[in-house]
Amino acid sequence: ASLLWWQCFVKGLFFSFFNPQVVNGIEIYSMKIDSKVTSRFARNVITSRAVNRGNVHKEVFFDVELPKTAFITNFSMTIDGVTYPGYIKEKEAAKQEYEKAVSKGQTAGLVKASGRKTEKFTVSVNIAAASKVTFELTYEELLKRQFGKYEMFIKVKPKQLVKDFEIDISIFEPQGITELEAEGTFITNDLQNVIKKTFSDKKGHISFKPTLDQQRTCANCSQSLLDGDFTVKYDVKRTTPDNLQIVNGYFVHFFAPTNLPQLPKNIIFVIDISGSMSGREIEQTREALLKILDDIRDDDFFNFILFGSDVHTWKEKLIKATPENLDEARKFVRGIDTEGMTNLYGGMMKGIEILNAAHEEKFVPKRSASIIIMLTDGQPNVGISNTEDIRTHVKKAIEGKYPLYNLGFGYGVDYGFLEKMALENKGLARRIYPDSDSALQLQGFYDEVSNPMLMDVELHYPENEISGLTKNSFKHFYDGSEIVVAGRFADINQNSLTVDVKGEGANDVLSFTTQQDAEQTAKAFQEQEYIFGDYIERLWAYLTIEQLLEKRTAATGEEKENLTAEVLDLSLKYKFVTPLTSMVVTKPEDYDNQAGIADKTTEGIDIFTTFAFLQTHCLVDGDPHFIISVPQKEDAICFNINEKPGDVLSLINDPVTGITVNGELIGDKRANSDANSQNTYFGKLGIANKYLNLKVTVTSEKITIQNGNEKTAFTWLDSVTLQQEGLTLIINKEKNLVLSMGDGASFVIVLHQVWKKHPLHQDFLGLYTLKSHKLSEQTHGLLGQFFHPIDFTILEIHPGSDPKKPDATMIIKNKELTVTRGWQKDYRKDPKHGIDIPCWFVHNNGAGLVDGVHTDYLVSSLF
Ligand SMILES: *[C@@H]1O[C@H](CO)[C@@H](O)[C@H](O)[C@H]1NC(C)=O
Ligand SMILES: *[C@@H]1O[C@H](CO)[C@@H](O)[C@H](O)[C@H]1NC(C)=O
Ligand SMILES: *[C@@H]1O[C@H](CO)[C@@H](O)[C@H](O)[C@H]1NC(C)=O
């Protein structure tokens, strides 16, 4: 059975918020994405320049998405000519720095976001009026060859029109470029010829530089068209299967033979049919399997194993893909239905047994590539359900003979387990994202492994000459891919190398020998001006780190410690942000010494943390009292709403994003006979997004998330980070929770716990909004109406009835109101005592300030 969640894991105590400041008044006047690719190794620099056109200081956001396969290598901010560089630190050290910043009184924000192929990097900084800031981010990655092409993609989303916008990509491939494509998901017919593309021999160049007008969604519109993926694909000439390059004591070897006959395959599909697969998942699985059956070649062998509570096999043996058998298989696939629990162990063992028998009985060809593809959406719970035990048995049964590919469908899988099991068996794990294209994702994976050309590929380098060799043996080589091996010469002055490659082809054993020296490499590179000298060394470091991290996934004990030390050492030396390092940026002192931090976790999901000083926000807490901050006045307005326990108030209602927040009032334990002095608090909050069919109910006891028909509940004793398309939820045990919905509108709910035996009070909740600019201009509600800019003037401050609290006249919304200077409590930093926020108090339930009268905001129920 599966939960539909992206990921759910326990986190430490790290928490807090990010700055909600609206970016109005900030102009991003330049954004450049500059990429240089040399021999598949890409270095991308994103530079964004902004100026604060307002007359008060403002928060500027730098918000980009990078490919998951990339490592950040540098980040800096330049404010009014002063550069604040980022430093790569060991994660522990970075954490301490973070905590130091927090202890100095700054609150911290945790932004975790991840798409299918990207992860997000967010930093913000406060700059003074008329000041300029430049952000510069560098990341590097090795472009992988798939389906015969290297692909690079750049996420483009400037969010506003940018005067000087440019993507500039230069590619240098010493083997020669044979094709070059560039396309963008946002490119309209008009923009098509703004992409300039040229290539000749070894050099390729792409430039995309739309003018302000070309960026507009329509004439005179201020919205930007630029929102999507910009993809570049290319391939290189292959006169020989090998290409060797040697520079400064390092070498890289690319191996991709073409025009070899394909090996026949023996494929076992091990498919989860447990109850949680029912509905769309099983339909998409059937659809994908039917398409795959169309692509199976007639000399292939195959079989299906289905596992629910029991294990069902289509045939007792591997079956040849004759037209009749394929027809029968199609009937079988159409009839696949769900049942019961998840006997993953039984399914795996049956599949391996059938494959082993086929080899032992020799009824599959000797030269054929055997593959196991397992698909599951849940966690094993029948047969052997301990994942360590399953791994042990599977590894023993496969004995390295076939690669195992594990596909994890949806968010309910134990992806760590699938990944470990696949890596231990020379395969890999992949996520299948539940979406309308899930069937295509499944098919796409099959396509990657459907054309084996070589088996047991071994790349031999003279042992005594080389150190730090990356992986050099591969179970299969698939058409359209490429094998990359890099290493270091033991003697840095060595400048030539001979390589032997052996592999089993469809007809016989193939071997290739290549020789290369540094001079030949230098000659091949001579015409290019944009080589970064150490690119082979960095490519080697990138590949080494990537492979060590992979190995570390399944390692334990001392081996894991050793691998960790090795990765850390290399990450620090080459300044890569990996799962073991963080990048720390300390922001200028005058705005509270803010710091930003960039992190990466093992699954390729990034955690990016920005420390942002809490500034402007709207909140409701306590009695319930509302505080509306007015940034341009550096001041706040507050009011109370007095209603009865059981009443539900509309706090936020945005018809455009579909987000609503309602709060239900509770009173003290003992009802007060005088209704007017009855204290009320929020005991229950309901946050919903009707377009995403999501409902989150928060009480002082538990947090319930309803996603369609799927329900998940947590208590305040959990520490949870949970991410799903359209929803991020972080529960900081017994303190608060941070919730982001849809495009990023975020809320913080603070839990107020009172002493259990308190005679009067009970636990209650406070609501704080962050990123309210993500909501539309039509947002309304007791809090929502104040997300639009609001201004006021204070006149005639004079003594009031309380000598410590002067009265004044406030001009707001063309009305004159009598207001009183007071304080209200903000409980985010100090949930026990709160921090006093000075504000102008509007009497009588906010009369004159809130639109209409306060009773207009009563609604019938939480949702
Ligand atoms: C990082 O970027 C800054 C700003 O461009 C530059 O001064 C610095 O040298 C870079 N650091 C590295 C290690 O490349
Ligand atoms: C754009 O704005 C200009 C100046 O305000 C106006 O003359 C022109 O008609 C507008 N064009 C469109 C298509 O609305
Ligand atoms: C770990 O490293 C130490 C020191 O280099 C070495 O002695 C030990 O054999 C290594 N252990 C494993 C399991 O690799």
CB of 78 closer than 8 Å to CB of 151: no
In ligand 2, the atom with minimum distance to the C-alpha of 218 is: 13
Ligand closest in space to the Cα of 221: 2
Ligand closest in space to the Cα of 218: 2
Give pLDDT, residue 47. 96
Comparing 130-139, 559-568, 686-695, 770-779, which segment has the lowest mean pLDDT? Answer: 770-779
Tokens linked to 515:
């020789």
Say if ligand 2 is within 6 A of residue 220 CB.
yes
Residue nearest to atom 6 of ligand 2 (CA): 220
| Cα atoms in the 13 Å half-sphere on the side-chain side of 64 | 25
CA distances from 647 to 665, 667, 688, 704, 858 (A): 6, 10, 18, 20, 7
**What pLDDT digit, counting tens, does each position of 453-463 carry?**
999 999 999 98
CB within 8 A of 524, min separation 6: which ones?
A: 174, 202, 245
Determine the distance separating the centroid of ligand 2 and the alpha carbon of 161, expressed in angstroms. Answer: 17
Comparing 208-222, 454-468, 530-544, 621-635, which segment has the lowest mean pLDDT? Answer: 621-635
Residue nearest to atom 12 of ligand 3 (CA): 559
Give pLDDT, residue 754. 73
pLDDT for residue 333 is more than 90: yes
In ligand 3, the atom with minimum distance to the C-alpha of 557 is: 13
Give pLDDT, residue 108. 31
Ligand closest in space to the Cα of 219: 2
In ligand 3, the atom with minimum distance to the C-alpha of 561 is: 1
pLDDT mean over 750-769: 76
**What pLDDT digit, counting tens, does each position of 547-557 carry?**
999 999 889 99
Strands 82-90, 581-586: parallel, antiparallel or unpaired by DSSP? antiparallel
Give pLDDT, residue 427. 94
Residue nearest to atom 13 of ligand 2 (CA): 219
pLDDT for residue 13 is more than 50: no
Nearest in space to 106 (alpha carbons), one of 583, 586, 577, 769: 586
d(CA 538, CA 41): 9
Radius of gyration of the chain from its Cα atoms, rounded to whole angstroms: 30
Determine the distance separating the centroid of ligand 3 and the alpha carbon of 37, expressed in angstroms. Answer: 37
Nearest in space to 373 (alpha carbons), one of 411, 422, 325: 422
Share of the chain above pLDDT 90, in %: 46
User: Mean of the per-residue pLDDT values for the chain?
Assistant: 83
In ligand 1, the atom with minimum distance to the C-alpha of 83 is: 4
DSSP assignment letter at 544: H
Determine the distance separating the centroid of ligand 2 and the alpha carbon of 227, expressed in angstroms. Answer: 24
pLDDT band at 446 (very low <50, low <70, confident <90, very high): very high
Give pLDDT, residue 531. 56
CB of 714 closer than 8 Å to CB of 696: no
Determine the distance separating the centroid of ligand 2 and the alpha carbon of 192, expressed in angstroms. Answer: 24
Q: How many CB atoms lie within 10 A of CB 227?
A: 15
**What pLDDT digit, counting tens, does each position of 592-648 carry?**
333 344 444 333 222 222 222 222 345 676 667 788 877 666 678 888 888 888 899
CB of 292 closer than 8 Å to CB of 443: yes
d(CA 600, CA 244): 32
Per DSSP, the three-state class of 750 is strand
pLDDT for residue 451 is more than 60: yes
d(CA 253, CA 256): 10
CA distances from 72 to 76, 140, 575, 606, 612 (A): 12, 6, 8, 11, 21
CA 216, 221, 223: angle at the middle one, nearest 5?
60
d(CA 672, CA 668): 8
φ, ψ (nearest 5 deg) of residue 448: -65, -35
Burial class (CB in 10 A: 0-12, 13-18, 19+), 158: middle
Q: Which residues line ligand 1 (CB under 6 A)?
A: 74, 76, 83, 85, 136, 575
pLDDT band at 750 (very low <50, low <70, confident <90, very high): confident
Mutate-to-test residue for ligand 1 from 45, 74, 140, highest number of ligand atoms within 8 A of CB: 74
pLDDT for residue 96 is more than 90: no
In ligand 3, the atom with minimum distance to the C-alpha of 558 is: 13
CB of 304 closer than 8 Å to CB of 333: yes
Nearest in space to 800 (alpha carbons), one of 817, 818, 815: 818
pLDDT band at 93 (very low <50, low <70, confident <90, very high): low
d(CA 464, CA 351): 42
Give pLDDT, residue 763. 82
Residue nearest to atom 13 of ligand 3 (CA): 559
CB of 52 closer than 8 Å to CB of 131: yes
Determine the distance separating the centroid of ligand 1 and the alpha carbon of 44, expressed in angstroms. Answer: 13
Query: What pTM, to 2 d.p., does this model score?
Result: 0.68
Q: Going from the N-terminus, what domains does the chain have, and what CATH number goes with each?
A: 5-168+578-611 (no CATH), 242-260+454-546 (2.60.40), 265-450 (3.40.50.410), 619-681+745-859 (no CATH)
Comparing 367-371, 536-540, 766-770, which segment has the lowest mean pLDDT? Answer: 766-770
Residue nearest to atom 8 of ligand 2 (CA): 220
d(CA 123, CA 328): 57
CA atoms 48, 53, 57, 59: torsion sign? negative
Mutate-to-test residue for ligand 3 from 552, 558, 567, highest number of ligand atoms within 8 A of CB: 558
**What pLDDT digit, counting tens, does each position of 578-593 carry?**
888 877 776 554 333 3
Ligand closest in space to the Cα of 220: 2
Mutate-to-test residue for ligand 3 from 560, 562, 563, highest number of ligand atoms within 8 A of CB: 562
Say if ligand 2 is within 6 A of residue 219 CB.
yes
pLDDT for residue 3 is more than 70: no
